[in-house]
Amino acid sequence: MASLPDAELPKPSLLLPLAAVVVTGVLAAGVILLSIGDRTVAAGFLGAAVLAAGLMLASARLFRTPMTVERYTDWAIAHALASASDDALAVTDRSGRLVCANSRYEALFGGWPTPPNLPIGEEGNRALGACARAAWRDGESRCGDVQVFGAQVAVRVARVGDESLVWRFIGIHALDLAVQVQGLLAGQTGDRLGGAGVMVVLVAPDGRIRSANRVFRHRALGSADMIADGRDFARLLITDSVGQVRFEREGIEGTPLRVLQIPFLEGDEAPLLVALLDEEPAVIASPALGGSASHHVRSLISILPTGLALIDRDGRFLMMNDAFVRTARVNSAAPPLYPGDLVVREDKATLADAVRRFAGGAPQSLEITVRLKDVSEEPVAITIAGARGLGDAAVLLSLRDSGEEGKLKRQIAQATKMQAVGQLAGGVAHDFNNILTAIIGHCDLMLMRHSPGDSDYDDIQQIRANSNRAASLTRQLLAFSRQQTLRPQVLQLPDIISEVSNLLKRLLGETVSLDVKHGRNLGPVRADPGQLEQVVVNLAVNARDAMLSKNPSGGGSLTIETLAVSAAEVRRMEDDVLPVGDYTALRISDTGTGIPPEILPKIWEPFFTTKEVGKGTGLGLSTVYGIIKQSGGYIFAENVPGAGAAFTIYLPVHAAPEAAVAKLPVTKEKPADLWGTGTILVVEDEDMVRAIAERALSRQGYSVVTAENGEVALETIETMDKPDLLVSDVVMPVMDGPSMARKVRERWPDLPILFMSGYAEEQLRRSIDLDNVAFLPKPFSVQQLAEAVQEILVAK
């Protein structure tokens, strides 16, 4: 669970108007019923109006109050964040299969082994297994330090939702670089430094030596052939009464040493590079403090990946390595003279004072946060330390690039905000679906008593039309939150385009031409045909508006293409988000103005719109995004050079035999006679919905028994004969529908069940492990309920 601050919640630009529509409709219905004398039902409608108003206020309050939301996983975002991480990341599912991993994971383990079965020994894998079990139980766990190829690596495992574990191996970046530096010290680079009188040693976080050059081993151990690895570095040194450092083997009469720490890696788990220089000329051939020593230490600094710079006693730059130049955005044509020239005006004095203090011999080191002139919105951390013993150098600056870290933080904050809005939108839409079910149901019952031409007939029809309009808005909210009910079929994309082409021609008008192109060897996809049509229509209407804004008098072209994309083509694309596989792609492009670069990253956000006030809800593209992601696909937006915008949708090819592919959606013929007989048990916690279901089914000839929750239903079945059908809500207090249905099935194993809910069927199926179960999404009409019941009983 994640708690969000108020500032990260968007304004309820759609939910409150939706609530107002519902309240107005309910009040109008109540007034009409009072005018025609139906006081009982009118009282129920007025009560519904109070409830709807309460929901409106509650939704507004939710947007102002910190809330806790359940996390769901967006694999596109997760894959992008994993690829950008310096840690090795992997994701496994509930069954223990490897879902995805980044390139650092592949490089570390030489392929794609599935944790906790990694090539790190039985003891390490046992620790990882225990860590995974703790993560499934507690949500997150840490394994402490695990030996990975001889190095200590911290491992964290976190549960995402109820289906996945994220494995994070921290310190891998430092491990890779440390191994490289370790090899340099043991080879010719270490010998060249030794020839200049520079003793270099790589020290692990526990204080033990990982590598050292030959001259260090000669001075500290007495022989260059002795092994220093694993020895306690501190035990090889001693300090005299005035604080001078010497080798313990040489004793108090030995040559004093200047110790220089080079922070080439960040983090508590990173090893430390230490250079030791003689304070006075010693027994080695080259003078330790001569130009040769300074030259070689600067050469070492120049190849390190961390941004490092040397400053003289007057505060001027002596040298910068390539990493420092990149991180500080240094203009090579006009390099700065002083460190203060790199930062904004407010930070100049702070940085200059710190440099002056350490140039005068201040001990230890200091880390400060400053803002660079060219990227003032991204603070960076600078570590300042004394660097005496390197000729003219007096201060060592270490600059850590936090730009990528800041980018990841913004992406995570954005993803968290999207999760919050999605969860809230889904919950509010579910509550409104119950109210709309009651309104539509009462309208249907009243229309049975009124015929066209009656004074109240048109008013009732108007209430029903507004209720259906509100229902379409709730479906948009559910689509964005990926909680809508989909009816996926195996189909061909050209069939969908053909079905919607006539509608598109009317929507685009005579001034915008439509060009449809189909590729060859298109594989079948599995998706909801109605939802795919909505995606095409939404994108086409947006393209039309963009072209009309560019040329109000008309003109432009909309192109719809379908094409096959093989796994080899995806691999050549080297896209961090799109997994390698076979896809059928749908590309919709226009000749409009394109999408401004500053707006492009925001187009999928809910409630974001560039249209005038009152002309857009801001849910069009977010609904498209939700439909495609819920269908298992990917969608990308880009600007076409010299043209407008293009949206490309990738849907995975469904591996199904040709006979199973539905060429066109098939609509079942609805029965003309909906009368029936039998006993139906209706279980619904919402009084309004329960009353509508009871009255609707009773009018069709059924004997109806009702219960307000699962426990009451179990008590009821003890006193009645076997019903012909159980109709139940899914989400109810005390005992939910599936739990109640399982207990009912213990008594009557073959009893058919019809579940009804405002949540998505795909979500609910995960918790409904029962056979012979049908589903009816809310809101539904009286006729839809009667048709669903009759279909089940006839099939029985």
Close Cβ partners of 375 (under 8 Å, ≥ 6 residues apart) = 329, 403
Q: Decide whether 87-171 matches 306-401 in CATH topology.
A: yes
Euclidean distance between CA atoms 664 and 656, whole angstroms: 16
pLDDT digit string, tens, across residues 471-515: 766 665 665 554 555 567 888 999 888 888 887 887 787 788 888
Pick the more confident residue, 591 or 147.
Answer: 591
Q: For residue 11, what pLDDT is reported? A: 40
Q: Does domain 489-660 have CATH number 3.40.50.720?
A: no
Question: What is the CATH code of the structural domain delimited by 306-401?
Answer: 3.30.450.20
Interval 642-668: pLDDT, tens:
778 899 999 999 875 544 444 444 445
Environment class of residue 711 by beta-carbon count within 10 Å: exposed (0-12), middle (13-18) or buried (19+)? Answer: middle
Quick: pLDDT tens for 534-576: 888 888 888 888 787 766 666 788 899 999 999 889 888 877 6
The full set of domain ranges for the chain reads 2-69+406-480, 87-171, 187-304, 306-401, 489-660, 679-795
- As a whole number of angstroms, the distance between CA 263 and CA 270 comes to 9
Q: Output Rg (C-alpha) for the chain, integer angstroms.
A: 35
CATH topology for 187-304 is: Beta-Lactamase (3.30.450)
Coil, helix or strand for 514?
strand
CA-CA distance, 72 to 261, in Å (whole number)? Answer: 45
- pLDDT for position 674: 67
CA angle 131/167/411 to nearest 5° reads 135
Residue 2 pLDDT: 32
Higher-confidence position of 791 and 451: 791
Give, in order, the Cα–Cα distances in Å from 675 to each of 698, 702, 706.
Answer: 10, 8, 20
Cα(78)–Cα(68) distance, rounded to whole angstroms?
21
- Predicted local confidence at residue 679, as pLDDT: 92
Exposure letters 531-548 (e unless 16+ CB within 10 A, then b): bbbbbbbbbbebbbbbbb
Do residues 547 and 590 lie in contact, with contact meaning Cβ atoms separated by under 8 Å? yes
Q: Measured between alpha carbons, how far is residue 563 from residues 12, 232, 518, 533, 659 in Å?
A: 39, 64, 6, 17, 21
**Mean per-residue pLDDT of the chain:** 75
| Dihedral angle over CA of 314, 315, 320, 324, nearest 10 | 180
Residue 136 CB contacts under 8 Å (≥ 6 apart), including other chains = 159, 165
State in words which class domain 679-795 has.
alpha beta
- According to the model, what pLDDT value does residue 766 have? 57
Nearest to 213 by CA among 235, 237, 179, 183: 183
pLDDT band at 420, cuts 50/70/90?
Answer: low
Residue 241 Cα distances to 7, 251, 254, 549, 582, angstroms: 57, 13, 14, 81, 73
693: nearest Cα among 437, 470, 429, 436: 437
For residue 271, pLDDT beyond 80 = no
SS3 content of the chain, % helix, strand, coil (to 5): 40, 20, 35
Alpha carbons within 13 A on the beta-carbon side of 733: 3
pLDDT in tens, 589-643: 988 878 877 777 677 666 566 555 445 555 667 778 877 887 888 888 888 877 7
User: Does the pLDDT at position 777 exceed 70?
Assistant: yes
Q: Is the peptide bond before 116 cis (omega within 30 degrees of 0)?
A: yes
Tokens of 20: 């107002």
Angle at 458 between CA 453 and CA 461, to 5 degrees: 130
Tokens of 617: 């809800």
Cβ-based neighbour number of residue 455 at 10 Å: 10
User: How far, in whole angstroms, is CA 387 from its chain's centroid?
Assistant: 44
Question: Of 179, 93, 103, which is closest to residue 136 (Cα–Cα)?
Answer: 93
DSSP 93: E
Instruction: Respond yes or no on whether the N-terminal peptide bond of residue 779 is cis (omega within 30° of 0).
Output: yes
pLDDT at residue 9, as a whole number: 35
Question: What is the arithmetic mean of pLDDT over 258-272?
Answer: 71
Instruction: Please write the tens of the pLDDT for every residue from 213-236.
Output: 888 988 888 888 888 888 888 889
- In three-state secondary structure terms, 437 is helix
**pLDDT band for position 584 (cuts 50, 70, 90):** very high
pLDDT confidence tier of residue 58, bands split at 50, 70 and 90: very low
Q: E-strand spans in 519-644? A: 525-527, 557-565, 583-590, 634-639
Q: What's the whole-model pTM score?
A: 0.40
First to last CA, the chain: 44
Distance CA 760, CA 426 (A): 9
CATH architecture of 87-171: 2-Layer Sandwich (3.30)
